[in-house]
Amino acid sequence: MKKRLWIIALALVGCAWCVKADNASLLSPNGKIAVKVAVNDGKPSLQVAYKGQMVVEQIGLGLTFNGSDYSQQVALSEVTAPQRIEEKYAALHGKRSLCENEANACFVKFAGKDGKPLQVELRAYNDGVCFRYIINNKGQKSLAFTEEQTAYTLPTNASRWIQKFTACYEGDFPLQKGAEKQGAWNYPLLVESGREVFALITEANAHRNYCATHLSNESDENSYRVSYPFQWEGCGQGEVLPVCCAKKWTSPWRVLIIGSLKDIVESTLVEDVSDASTLTDTDWIQSGRASWIYWAYNHGTKDYQTCCRYVDLAAQMGWEYVLFDWEWDAMTNGGNLEDAARYALSKGVKPLIWYNSGGPHNGVPATPRDRFLTHEARVKELAWLKSMGFVGVKIDFFESDKQSMMAYYLDILQDCAQARMMVNFHGCTLPRGWSRTYPHLMSMEAVFGAEQYNNTPLMTGIASRLNCTLPFTRNVVGPMDYTPVAFTHSQHPHTTSFAHELALSVAFESGIQHWADRPEGFYALPAEARQLMKQVPTAWDETRFIDGYPGTHFVVARRQGNTWYVAALNGDKSPRTISFSPTFLHEGQYEVTVLADGADAMHFDIRKQTISADIVLAIPCLPQGGYTLVFSR
């Protein structure tokens, strides 16, 4: 029966929708994605198919607020005629400089058992499906939410990559074959539901009128339910249940990016459905590269001379920024923060600075704390930083997804916009489209990144696999401050090859990239590798997925201007030859610089050759190796 329904829905390519008494169907503009809205036994749900294959078995719908439960005993009362969404917008940093998206959209109204309505806005994009709840709160009374019943039921045997819940989103994405485990989980969830059919489940456009959420399959191992934050998050500060008095309330978007792995990696859907920026003056928002002390010297910012070494590194490499990390307020050995900032500016390097988000929501004693807690404190601190020439702040240790913390994030972003100060959130929530609304949000951590080499030996063992999983999961949904590229060792060694580490500069996307290694690590590189680190962009005009599979290998091509960069990563602990044809190139001859694995993990094989787009490049990689290619004319 289900197969017949989907054949009918997919036959409606010339018509975006179909409505019956108890169900409705909506197609994406390209006809590949079909969404069916249905009410069965009073329970509302969605079903989603890609090229006729089921992506998720069912998406249960529902919301409980002010004593009304819209997950059962509801009726489908109205479905509006579909409207076409065609949008283009410029992005200051990210996967591409010009974003384009198309969707068919409609509004679905459900009547509850008390006759009151709940509306769902539904969109079928060419690369996914998004929906959100809408409440027209005409009396502007307080809306008190007690539960959201949105639940994604996956095919029983579907492979999935998902991170065990942690409030800072810093964890592994191991492959699960089917529903192996139950518990609480972070977004995003990547599921392979059929042959070359994938879906990435997340949320977008989080706001101050609701909390951010996570997933739980504790009651049904195959059903991942949207769940409110835990009470213990943020040291127990803030209310778990959201409350709002808005005249028109909308939930964050529930997002499924759908299609092949190419569709997943290249998607900008999380930003596409988020609010557009209202900033008119954006010249002060500049993507770029930064030298970063903490990876090599955990307490290095306390030492003025060490800070100067990292300023000199940035200046010699042509990087735009240097980050002064924690303990800058205890800086000694020849100078203080003002001296360090002055030295950086004298070298043509713009300084960035770290803060503890402070307040009772975290128990981290690292100072300075609390200087961003209130509007008045932020305005004062930002003015002081501006007077010294600082252009950006890194703010750490939020540790909660409660509604009050969503408001805190947005308050910081708004005040920093007024001060023309760029932002990097650490110890934070997952990107949820804010980089479109607030383009001065350059990056967010929410990743088990290179800093983990400081903490435990785990990263030494999993890094190559994780590095080949993050481009299909975490980095899909927004900029990722992994702090990549290291050739020397931190407290625990890396076992990835030098060529693998160099390729991370292209493989990972972040508006500001904080390069991890110590100065001598970069100075010791061959001239061609140093030149790559001097020129590699951090904002891209175009991104194209070439090849790969989560955890095993990843190949991506990114363009800025007329130059193409290709990164290839081998996630396996055995050698692999990674081949591809550079069909993204125009006709004619290109010079390609190859920076591949050499005789061992600590050496490169570097060569230049002239090629055309019709060639097949087959480049061997060491275990946990990789390569970077630069195509120019």
Q: Are residues 470 and 618 in the same domain?
A: yes
Give the lowest-confidence range in 106-120, 239-253, 466-480: 106-120
**How many other β-carbons are positioned within 10 Å of the β-carbon of residue 119?**
19
Q: Is the pLDDT of residue 201 over 80?
A: yes
pTM of the predicted model as reported, rounded to 2 decimal places: 0.96
- For the segment 501-515, the average pLDDT, to the nearest whole number, is 98
In a domain, 413, yes or no: yes
pLDDT tens digit sequence for 207-240: 999 999 999 999 899 999 999 999 999 999 999 9
Can you tell me whether residue 41 is helix, strand or coil?
coil
For CA atoms 618, 619, 623, 629, the dihedral sign is negative
Give domain status of residue 42, yes or no: yes
Q: What is the pLDDT of residue 17?
A: 53
266-302 b/e (C-beta count within 10 Å ≥ 16 → b): bbbbbbbbbeebeeeeeeebbbbbbbbbbbbbbebbb
Give yes or no: residues 463 and 439 share one domain: no
Does position 13 have pLDDT exceeding 70, yes or no? no
Name the residue among 290, 309, 302, 295 with its Cα closest to residue 490.
Answer: 295
Q: Is residue 490 part of a domain?
A: yes
Residues 171 and 118 in one domain: yes
Residue 138, sorted as left (phi over 0), alpha (psi -120 to 50) or beta, turns out to be: alpha
Find, among 427, 425, 64, 401, the residue nearest to 238 by Cα. Answer: 401
Give yes or no: residues 373 and 484 share one domain. Answer: no
DSSP codes of every residue in 461-482? HHHHHHHTTGGGTGGGSS-B--
Contacts of 528 (CB under 8 A, 6+ apart): 593, 595, 604, 606
Instruction: Say yes or no: 472 and 516 in one domain.
Output: no
Query: Given this model, what pLDDT does residue 9 score?
Result: 34
Contacts of 139 (CB under 8 A, 6+ apart): none
* pLDDT recorded at residue 114: 81
Report whether pLDDT(18) > 70. Answer: no
| 118 shares a domain with 26 | yes
The answer to whether the CB of 556 falls within 8 A of the CB of 566 is yes
Residue 66 C-beta-side C-alpha neighbours within 13 Å: 13
pLDDT higher at 260 or 14: 260
- pLDDT of 194 over the 90 cut: no
Kindly state the average pLDDT of the residues 515-536.
98
| Better pLDDT: 229 or 5 | 229
pLDDT at 11 over 50: no
Distance CA 189, CA 192 (A): 10
CA separation for the pair 183, 177 (Å, rounded): 16
Task: Give the N- to C-terminal CA distance of the chain in Å, as an integer.
Answer: 56
- 282 is a domain residue: no
H or E stretch covering 8: helix 2-10
Beta strand pairing call for 321-324 and 350-356 = parallel
CB-based contact 606:628 (threshold 8 Å): no
Alpha carbons 109 and 106: distance in angstroms, whole number: 10
| Long-range contacts of 177-182, Cβ-Cβ distance < 8 Å, separation of 24 or more | 179/154, 179/217, 179/221, 179/222, 181/221, 182/217, 182/218, 182/221
% of the chain at pLDDT higher than 90: 92
Residues 143, 79 share a domain: yes
Tokens 């991506």 map to which residue?
556
Measured between alpha carbons, how far is 252 from 431 in angstroms, rounded to an integer?
13
Q: Which positions ≥6 away from 37 have C-beta within 8 Å?
A: 23, 24, 25, 26, 44, 45, 46, 76, 79, 108, 120, 122
Range of the domain at 181: 2-272
Q: Which two tokens stand for residue 148?
A: 């959201």
Q: Are residues 107 and 235 in the same domain?
A: yes
One domain, residues 337 and 441? yes
Share of the chain above pLDDT 70, in %: 96
Q: What are the DSSP calls for 517-569, one per residue?
A: S-HHHHHTS-HHHHHHHHH--SS-SEEEEEEEETTTEEEEEEEETTEEEEEEE
Contact 411, 246 (CB under 8 A): no
Hey, which residues does 42 pair with through a beta bridge?
none
Residue 137: its pLDDT value, please?
86
281 in any annotated domain:
no
Element (H, E) at 24: strand 23-27
**Domains: count for the chain:** 3
CB 288, CB 451: distance < 8 Å? no
Looking at the domain assignment, is residue 572 inside a domain? yes
| Whether residues 522 and 498 fall in one domain | no
Q: What is the pLDDT of residues 574-621, one digit of tens each?
A: 999 999 999 999 999 999 999 999 999 999 999 999 999 999 999 999
Who contacts 126 (Cβ-Cβ below 8 Å, separation ≥6)? 28, 29, 30, 32, 33, 101, 102, 103
Element (H, E) at 120: strand 117-125
CATH number for 601: 3.20.20.70
Across residues 519-533, what is the average pLDDT? 98
For residues 380 and 443, state if they share a domain.
Answer: yes
Structure-derived torsion over alpha carbons of residues 105, 106, 108, 109, reported in degrees to the nearest 10: 130
Mean pLDDT of the chain: 95
179 and 296 together in one domain: no
- Separation CA 251–CA 133 (nearest Å): 5
**Could you write out the DSSP letters of every residue in 248-309?**
EEEPPEEEEEEESHHHHHH--HHHHTSPPP--S--TT---EEEEESTTT-TTGGGBHHHHHH
Instruction: Please state the rounded mean pLDDT for residues 343-358.
Output: 98
Tokens representing residue 364 in the block: 């981290």
Supply the pLDDT for residue 105. 98
Q: Looking up tokens 């190139």, which residue turns up?
A: 585
Q: Contact, 81 vs 17, CB < 8 A?
A: yes
3 has a pLDDT exceeding 50: no
**Cβ 612 vs Cβ 575: under 8 Å:** no
Within a domain: residue 277?
no
Residue 210 lies in a domain: yes
DSSP for 188-223, written as a single string:
EEEEEEETTEEEEEEEE---TTS---EEE-SS-TTE
pLDDT higher than threshold 50 for residue 1:
no
pLDDT exceeds cutoff 90 at 183: yes
